[in-house]
Structure 1
Amino acid sequence: MRFAKSLLLLWLLSCITGTLPAQTIPPQDATLSNYTYPYPVHYLTLDIQGQRLKMAYMDVQPAQPNGKAVMLLHGKNFCGAYWDSTAADLSRNGFRVIIPDQVGFGKSDKPAHLQYSFQLLAQNTKALLDTLHITKTAVLGHSMGGMVAIRFALMYPQVTEKLVLEDPIGLEDWKIKVPYQSVDKWYQSELKQDYEKIKKYQLENYYAGEWKPAYDKWARLLASWTQGPDYPRIAWNSALTYDMIFTQPVYYEFEHIQAPTLLIIGQRDRTALGKANVPAEVRKTMGNYPELGKSAARRIPHAKLVPLEGVGHLPHIQAYKKFITPLLAFLEQGS
């Protein structure tokens, strides 16, 4: 009876706050074995730097194909699962939807050692498309996925029919303002992560200080790793990819993008790597997405900017209708 009352209290707490205490978050292993994705997961085996690694992906087939494909690339603190609603609508409109988990993320392998680069992630993604016999696709990248998408579009312009950048990071070069932080320091910082810290970061940086219960499952998923036995390896991969992001800007190559490009930019987004490590006056100059979006749209040939007022870093989670409407219009244009 006492146990039942405790569960009832936890449930009531979740209804009121939209969250549950961190200790109720079930631990996950390195490849999220006990976490169910919205669509069946397949695996591609890759031989990389002397290792055989598995790359997870979803391949969502439309009931009435329009002959077009869209590839969705996740951000750093996410995995392919958060594209659930987007994939459903794209599929409903006839698109085949390919959703990879990059190596080091989601259900894909977390190697003990790997020299990460955006070129490597783009090559892995191209290998997946080759396996699926997809020769042309639209590419949509969110956050870090935006940097991967840009690198992919630059490396494989003949494959990239259209490019969509949803609040991509990399619209500025942070290393100009932020002191370099070693991989070891990133690693020590990642080891200290927990649910409360993850939620606080996302609240401040992703959702402009406004938290809703719907956001909590993504914070909980990330936190589930911190409670599992594989977390040191996950934290190490996270540290390696932070170093990749910081040291490999795509910012200087926007003029070389050939594909028609759509920029969907939340106007309350203030994400910037390393801004906690600079003085307050410098911090104010970083992550100004309203200006960064305009600047990128001017520099990228054939670019269109869609600013979303009142929206932060995650339009497809925070303001789905505002996100999906211009996305579908852009993808269907010229079809």
Structure 2
Amino acid sequence: MPYAKAKDGTMLYYKDWGRGHPIVLMHGWPLTGDTWDDAAVRLGEEGHRLIIPDRRGFGRSDQPWDGYDYDTFSDDVAAILEDAGISEPVGIVGFSMGGGEVARFVSRQGKGRVSHAALISSVVPHVVQSDFNPDGVPQEQLDAITAELKKDRAGFMTTFLKQFYGVGFMTSSVSDEVVENSHRQAMMAGARPTLAAAQAWATTDFRPDLPAFEGIPTLIIHGTADKNVPIDATGRVAAKLIPHADFLEYDGSPHGVFETDKERLINDLLEFFGTGRAAEADQRSAIPLNETTL
């Protein structure tokens, strides 16, 4: 699989699957692009080209000391698209902290770069509690996450991922192996990227980015039982601030809907993006007869 070079020389790993209308799939914290594999296969089968990065500092990408801010993350996406030779407007989907990349990419790169935008269990518009966001996560709770990460990152991730997937004492919507695989992905990241990226998603205010969504088909999906990124602070607020967006609440679902609600999420994404095969057929029909290979 290819690597793209960011502006600062950081090497960014990404998967390039399928053919057709390009869709970028941005993963959440603290995981990798592998979380999108099942959805990417289905979207690819329906005629889309999937670009699936590992964010800088995570997965198979380089782990530089700097660059864990959303302007840089957005520029990294642009560098990957350039490396992949994609100049046409793309669909872009962001899960959790990846939703911030969607918002910043739309506002920083321009509407002409985006055909569709989707925010899944997203941190947009703002996570931390404030006067504007009374339902946000209290700062002391975010500070406690930082302290636990510094004390025992591996142990913190075990507890965090159980909440992430809604795993309880007697019930679980995913297998133990799913949790173990997510833990493996989380520990691929460096300690510095893990901490710095958490600071970015916890504190960045994306409200100034949202007017740029005007005219772009937008989908928002959020679980009502999301304890990691509460829906009242994010998904429901984003739906009010992006009034033309389609907003789907997954009743009773936790944060990690790409596993707990896999089939539903994939079907909703397929309905939102449609099939890329029609566009491919149009391209084939436009080829002059004397250039057609039989």
Asked if the contact 2:127–2:233 (Cα under 8 Å) also holds between the matched residues in 1, the reply is no
1:159 paired residue number? 113
- Do the aligned partners of residues 333 and 61 (structure 1) sit closer, same or farther apart at CA in structure 2, a change above 3 Å counting? closer
- Do the aligned partners of residues 131 and 206 (structure 1) sit closer, same or farther apart at CA in structure 2, a change above 3 Å counting? same
Of residues 126, 133, 154, the one that matches 2:85 is: 133
2:13 paired residue number? 56
Equivalent pairs, count: 264
SS of the counterpart of 1:109?
A: coil
2:272 paired residue number? 330
- Do the aligned partners of residues 47 and 151 (structure 1) sit closer, same or farther apart at CA in structure 2, a change above 3 Å counting? closer
2:126 paired residue number? 172
Asked if the contact 1:60–1:96 (Cα under 8 Å) also holds between the matched residues in 2, the reply is yes
Asked if the contact 2:54–2:61 (Cα under 8 Å) also holds between the matched residues in 1, the reply is yes
Asked if the contact 1:199–1:219 (Cα under 8 Å) also holds between the matched residues in 2, the reply is no
1:194-233 Cα deviation digits (max 9, x unpaired): 55432222222442634332422333314654xxxxx8xx
2:284 paired residue number? none
* Superposition deviation, residue 246 in structure 1: 2.9
Decide which moves more: 291-300 or 138-147. 291-300
Asked if the contact 1:68–1:96 (Cα under 8 Å) also holds between the matched residues in 2, the reply is yes
SS of the counterpart of 2:37?
A: helix
- Do the aligned partners of residues 46 and 159 (structure 1) sit closer, same or farther apart at CA in structure 2, a change above 3 Å counting? same
SS of the counterpart of 1:88?
A: helix
Q: For 1:169 and 1:292, how far apart are their aligned partners in 2?
A: 6
- Do the aligned partners of residues 243 and 180 (structure 1) sit closer, same or farther apart at CA in structure 2, a change above 3 Å counting? farther
SS of the counterpart of 1:139?
A: strand
Normalising by structure 2, we get a TM-score of: 0.80
Decide which moves more: 67-76 or 263-272. 263-272
- Do the aligned partners of residues 323 and 138 (structure 1) sit closer, same or farther apart at CA in structure 2, a change above 3 Å counting? same
SS of the counterpart of 2:112?
A: coil
Normalising by structure 1, we get a TM-score of: 0.71
Of residues 182, 187, 191, the one that matches 1:219 is: 182
> What's the C-alpha RMSD, in Å, of the aligned pairs?
2.7
* Superposition deviation, residue 89 in structure 1: 0.1
* Superposition deviation, residue 45 in structure 1: 2.1
Q: For 2:218 and 2:12, how far apart are their aligned partners in 1?
A: 27
- Do the aligned partners of residues 186 and 299 (structure 1) sit closer, same or farther apart at CA in structure 2, a change above 3 Å counting? closer
The answer for unaligned runs of 5 or more in structure 2 is 131-136, 279-294
Q: Is 2:209 the partner of 1:256? A: no
**What percentage of aligned pairs have identical amino acids?**
24
Which structure has more relative contact order (CA 8 Å, sep 6+)? It is 2
* Superposition deviation, residue 71 in structure 1: 0.5
* Superposition deviation, residue 193 in structure 1: 3.0
SS of the counterpart of 1:133?
A: coil
Q: Is 2:234 the partner of 1:270? A: no
